[in-house]
Structure 1
Amino acid sequence: MSVPYAEVIGDPIAQSKSPAIHNFWLGKLGIAGRYDHCLVRLEGLGDYLATRRADADWRGCNVTMPHKLAIVPLLDRLDSLAARIGAVNTVVREADGTLTGHNTDAPGFLEPLRPELAKTHLFRMARVLGTGGAARAIVAALAAEHFVIVLAGRDPDKARAMLDELAPGTDHHAIDLTHFSDPTDFAFDDREGCLDLIVNASPLGMAGQPPLAFDFSHAPPGSLVYDIVTSPLDTAFLRGARTAGFTTIDGLSMLIGQADAAFAHFFGTRPPREHDAALRALILS
C-alpha cells in the first residue's frame, strides 16, 4: 500500500536532522506517512523535480544547500514570502501536480526569538554573517522586525545588493566577513533595553567546512548569539559565545521552527509541539 511521503534534498544531505523531526511527529500523530532524505546534485535538480512531480504519493520536499536559490526557476509558482525573499526551502506538490515554493526559514528563524521580540527596545541591531539562501530569509525576517542590520560576507558588494533588495533603507551596513575576525576595542552601547543579535547564517563551522572566525569583542554586552548550523549542533562559535558570557541559540531551534510549517504543508495538520523536549532529547541522543 502506498503512503504519502516527503523528504529533504541537498548536497550533502546525510547529516540532516529533518527526517528525525518529521518522522517523530508522524509517529506521535499516528499518521501513515514517512519522511526521507535524498542526495540531489545541483546538475540533477531538474530531473529530480520532474520525477517527483509525477509521483502522486510525494507531498513535497524541504530544500537545503546548495539548492535554495537554484530551485526557484524550476517551480510553477512561489508564495508571497518566498517571492519576496527569492529563496525556497519548502516545495509542495499540489493535487494537479504543479509545484509551489514556500519559505519557512524566515518564521522558523524568528520562532525562538519571539519572547524577546514581544518586548519594546531602544533599538535592535543584528550582525548577520553570510549571504546565501538562508541568510536571505534571515535578513528579510529581521528587517520586518525593525532591526538595523550589519551584513557580513566574503563579497561586501553582494551583501550590499542583498540589503538593498530585502531591507531597503539607509541604516543598514554591508562589510567584509573578515572584519569580525580581529579584536576590537569599540565602546558599545550598554544600556538596558537594547537588543543585539549575532547570527551565523553561513555554513562556516559546519562539519566539512572551514571554521567561522569571529572575535567576541565584536559582540555588544547582552548579545544573543545564534548559529543556524545543525551539524555539529554545538558549534565552536556557540561554545566561544558561552565562554564569553553570552546567551546562545542553536540551529535545532530554527530547524524545528521551520519544520513546523513545512509539516503542515506536507501532511495537512500542525505537528504536536507539546513534545518538543522529547524531540530534542531524541535528536541529541
Structure 2
Amino acid sequence: MIGSAMLHAGVMGWPVAHSRSPEIHGYWLKKYGIQGSYERVPSDPSDFETDVHRLRDSGWRGVNVTIPHKEAALSLADEATPRARAIGAANTITFSRSGRILADNTDAFGFIENLKERAGASWRREAPAIVLGAGGAARAVVHALLESGARTVTLANRTQSRAEALATAFGPPARAVEWAGIGEALAGAGLIVNTTSAGMDGRPPLDIDFAAAPADVIVTDIVYTPLITPFLDAATARGLIAIDGLGMLLHQARPGFEAWFGVAPQVDETLRALMLAP
C-alpha cells in the first residue's frame, strides 16, 4: 500500500447519491494500492461553506464539487486556477497543508482529453466549432476549445440571450447565432458539441439535422446516460464520427485524484467497462 496514513477525499453535492465519482476514484485507489477513501458528502447549499471547512479541518485532502455548489466553491477559495476563474465555477477543491482552499475546474481538461483519446488525429484543434447550449458545461467547453486554438466557436441556445451573453463573456472568436440558424452554421464546422441535457434519460431528444455538416465533422455529446444519445445516433446514421460523454467524466477526475492521492491515474478500458456495467 502507498503511504501509511489513510487519505480522505470525496464529492459534495445536493443531492449527491447519483454521483459516479466514488466508483471512479475507488477503482484508482485499488489499482494503485493507495490507502485512502472517497465518499459522497451530501451538503445543503446553506451548509456548504461550513461543510467545506469541516472537511478541511478534519484532515481531508480535498473534494469534487457538483451541482449546485460549483460557483460557491469558487467564491470561497483562497486561490483559484486561471481556468476556474475563466469558467466562473470550480468542480475540484484541494486543501493545502497550510489550510488554504485551492479551487480548480477540470471539466475543460476532461472534455479535451476525451476528444484526444476518442478522435485522435481526426480532431483538428483549429477547426471551427459549434457548441449547443449556454449553461455551466458550455462555459467549460468554450474555454477548452478557445484554449486549444479553435478559430471560431459558434454558440446556439434556445434562449438566444444566454448564448449572446456567453459569447460576450469570452469575446471573439466566440459568437452567437439563432437556434434556427444552426443548419447554416454546420456547413463549415469541424466539431459539434451538445452541452444541453436534451437526450438524457427521461428527457426529449435534441433534434438536429446533420445534412449540411461536412463528412469529416466530429460530433460529441457530454451526456453519458444513455451512452449513445439520439443526437449521436443521428450523427452515426450520417456516417459522422460520434464521441460519447463518458470519457469527459472519467478524465475530469484525473487532476483531483493526483492532487489528493499523489498518483497520476490513467483512464483505461477496465474503468470504462466498470462504469458501463449495469
Q: Does 1:260 align with 2:254?
A: yes
Residue equivalent to 2:268: 276
Q: Distance in 1 between matches of 2:186 and 2:6?
A: 59
TM-score (structure 1 length as normaliser): 0.83
Q: What amino acid does structure 1 have at the position aligned with 2:12?
A: I
Mapping for residues 33-112 of structure 1, pairs under 5 Å: 33-56=36-59, 58-112=60-114
- Report Cα offsets for 1:107-142 as digits up to 9, x if no partner: 211113337676896961111112222221210111
Q: Distance in 2 between matches of 1:230 and 1:119?
A: 21
CA contact (8 A) 1:198 1:219 kept: no
Mapping for residues 87-166 of structure 1, pairs under 5 Å: 87-114=89-116, 124-147=127-150, 148-166=152-170
Q: What amino acid does structure 2 have at the position aligned with 1:88?
A: A
Q: Does 1:251 align with 2:208?
A: no
Q: CA deviation at 1:11?
A: 3.8
Residue equivalent to 1:6: 9
CA contact (8 A) 1:68 1:133 kept: no
After superposition, the Cα gap between the structure-2 partners of 1:139 and 1:282, relative to the gap in structure 1 and judged at 3 Å, is: same
Residue equivalent to 2:21: 18
- Secondary structure of the residue that 2:6 maps to in structure 1? coil
CA-based RMSD: 2.8
Q: What percentage of residue pairs aligned between the two structures are identical?
A: 40
- Report Cα offsets for 1:181-217 as digits up to 9, x if no partner: xxx578935xxxxx61111122333335454333333
After superposition, the Cα gap between the structure-2 partners of 1:176 and 1:97, relative to the gap in structure 1 and judged at 3 Å, is: farther
Q: Unaligned regions of 5+ residues in structure 2, if any?
A: none
CA contact (8 A) 1:139 1:163 kept: no
Residue equivalent to 1:192: none
CA contact (8 A) 2:125 2:148 kept: no
After superposition, the Cα gap between the structure-2 partners of 1:205 and 1:69, relative to the gap in structure 1 and judged at 3 Å, is: farther
CA contact (8 A) 2:12 2:65 kept: yes
Q: What amino acid does structure 2 have at the position aligned with 1:278?
A: T
- Secondary structure of the residue that 1:38 maps to in structure 2? strand
CA contact (8 A) 1:76 1:100 kept: yes
CA contact (8 A) 2:106 2:253 kept: yes
- Secondary structure of the residue that 1:150 maps to in structure 2? strand
After superposition, the Cα gap between the structure-2 partners of 1:61 and 1:165, relative to the gap in structure 1 and judged at 3 Å, is: same
Residue equivalent to 2:187: 188
After superposition, the Cα gap between the structure-2 partners of 1:53 and 1:79, relative to the gap in structure 1 and judged at 3 Å, is: same
- Report Cα offsets for 1:81-115 as digits up to 9, x if no partner: 21222221111111222211011111211113337
TM-score (structure 2 length as normaliser): 0.85
Q: CA deviation at 1:230?
A: 2.6
